[in-house]
Amino acid sequence: MAAATDHGGVSTEHDNAYDVLIIGGGAAGLSAAQMLGRSRRSVAVIDSGQPRNAPAQGVHGFLSRDGASPAELLRIGRAEAEHYGALTVRGEAVAAAGNVADGFAVTLRDGGVIRGRRLLITTGLVDELPEIAGLRERWGKDVLHCPFCHGWEVQDQAIGILGKGPWSVHQALLFRQWSSNITLFLNELVQPADDELEQLAARGIKVVGGAVESLRIEQDRLRGVALAGGPEIAVDAVVVGPQVQARLDAFAGLALSSVPHPMGVGDYLETDADGATAVPGVWAAGNVTDMRAQVLASAAAGAWTAVVINNHLMAEELAADVASYRESLSVAP
């Protein structure tokens, strides 16, 4: 069984490449590591220890683990991956180079290098929130974005939808399923069409104009939304759709970069249905390529991509063995 380690416990340069290097130790990465370990592949997971969902109190919609804290879910995942021989390395990947023929090398911030025959990117996303006082402080607590992740926890409470663009009207209508007390703050960024205003009115959703200046927080709880030069509206929770950015800075050397998402909510890494990127030998799974995926979906994507990578390696090994076999026949006495 391999043990988790800080990079200080790993040799600076690995003489023997791993079958697969996984960059990112969240649900997708650890699920892939477990599957590859069960396939008797050598695996190293490099993780910076900065999971996207760290502020959240619990993970929801994950069958058998509903309500587990993000830290606890990852602890369980690491233990399972390590049980099957995966090595987890605490470190930040800063550069990657190589190709499918010669393998890939990932450089860590401390200068260490780890090599692998194939590369799986599961680095996730970074949430970029509007510059409104109190918003970042309450993110993952009573400032939310996904009703399916956290709507149950704020059901029947006073919920404010912070306007950022056309998508905010949909958010208001969606959260109405969890509470009858919904306020859409236009925030000088949302201009609902006449039919949308009719829909909001029909569902009893209040619409408030003016720019949002700050959130009022007292005794470690959100109490209200303050408008610039205007009143304060009492709310128990605020919903905001962040812009998201794929964590890909380390892979510029592989000519991998993000592209704008069609929904206009940020950038992501394009892959095919099996997680393959435009670079042969490099795959991606989880939020870095599917920003809508919840934790369970990211874990499932990691497992499936691991199967695809294993089959890719198997095909390469089979071709080499067949070539070797044919050569042995040609020189046999």
pLDDT digits (tens, 9 = 90+) for 126-180: 999 999 999 999 998 999 999 999 999 999 999 999 999 888 999 999 999 999 9
Same structural domain, 122 and 138? no
Same structural domain, 233 and 138? yes
What's the confidence (pLDDT) of residue 16? 56
Same structural domain, 122 and 137? no
Same structural domain, 230 and 249? no
Q: How confident is the model at residue 56 (pLDDT cuts 50, 70, 90)?
A: confident
Please list, residue by residue across 277-309, b when 16 or more beta carbons sit within 10 angstroms of its beta carbon and e when fewer do.
Answer: bebebbbbbbbbbbbebbbbbbbbbbbbbbebb
Same structural domain, 69 and 118? yes
Domain boundary among 178, 213, 239: 239
- Please state the domain count of the chain: 2
Domain boundary among 174, 207, 239: 239
SS (H, E, C) 24-87: CCCHHHHHHHHHHHHCCCCEEEEECCCCCCCCCCCCCCCCCCCCCCHHHHHHHHHHHHHHCCCE
Same structural domain, 173 and 74? no
Domain boundary among 222, 239, 256: 239
Question: What does pTM read for this prediction?
Answer: 0.91
Q: Which residues pair with 139 in a beta bridge?
A: 143
Q: Is the pLDDT of residue 332 over 50?
A: yes
Per-chain mean pLDDT for the chain: 92
SS3 295: helix
Same structural domain, 106 and 214? no
Cβ within 8 Å of residue 195, ≥6 positions away:
none
Give the CATH number, domain containing residue 161: 3.50.50.60
What's the confidence (pLDDT) of residue 264? 80
By residue range, what is the domain housing residue 320? Answer: 5-127+243-329
For residues 333 and 329, give the distance between their C-alpha atoms in angstroms, rounded to a whole number: 9
Cβ within 8 Å of residue 69, ≥6 positions away:
56, 57, 58, 59
Percent of the chain with pLDDT over 90: 85
Q: Is the pLDDT of residue 13 over 60?
A: no
Q: Is the pLDDT of residue 297 over 60?
A: yes
Same structural domain, 196 and 263? no
Q: Are 206 and 184 in contact (CB under 8 A)?
A: yes
